[in-house]
Amino acid sequence: MIPSCHTDPALMARLTARMLLDIKAVHFNAAEPFTFASGLRAPTYIDCRKLISYPRIRSTLMDFLTTKVMATAGFEAFDNVAGGETAGIPFAALVAERMALPMTYVRKKPKGYGRNARIEGEMTPGQRVLLIEDLATDGGSKLSFVEAIRDTGAQCHHTAVIFFYDIFPEAEPRLAQAGVTLHRLCTWRDVLAEARRGGDFDAATLDAVEAFLNAPHDWAASR
């Protein structure tokens, strides 16, 4: 069913952060930093995949994501909803159901056999496609998925995520240069603010996380 109740974006951000904290999808550890795929060390890690195991939370967040995208991009802006392999697939299915649209998914790379396809499901030239993923860091994986979608002759000018790191200044300009608008529910700043309000971590850990968010490369270099 298409959600018809629209919530204030600031409240959506705070509630999304609270849900992520409540299910322990947020991990802060300054003493033993996590390592990103890029090699950057950080006191932060988030696991949005956990959301699929919490029906009430996942339903609320998919309502949030659907209404936010429709309010921003338009109520009749899309013909197809595509999920990025693998974490984006369940969320794309849930959003497609709410928007009453066909759903497809995009592989990270061709299968290597059979049709050697990157798009699974039916996507046709001229369709306006909304790309869904769980999160965005620097925008790189989004551009790969967008390229695969556009190779079919379809259009893709919007991508939506539950969580955006928002610590790499090049991310949104990089997407914008490719003609893609990023929609998101919350960022690390929202999670940090909610963690301070709720006392989810000790003050020293939260201070270390804030220092990282202010200057991620400097923080990592100091470790």
Integer CA distances (angstroms), 57 to 40, 60, 99, 106, in order: 30, 5, 18, 25
- Kindly report the pTM of this predicted structure: 0.94
d(CA 215, CA 37): 18
pLDDT 10s digits, 119-164: 999 999 999 999 999 999 988 889 999 999 999 999 999 999 999 9
Domains of the chain listed by start with CATH number: 9-215 (3.40.50.2020)
To the nearest 10 degrees (0 to 180), the angle between helices 203-214 and 188-198 is: 160
pLDDT 10s digits, 57-85: 999 999 999 999 999 999 999 999 999 99
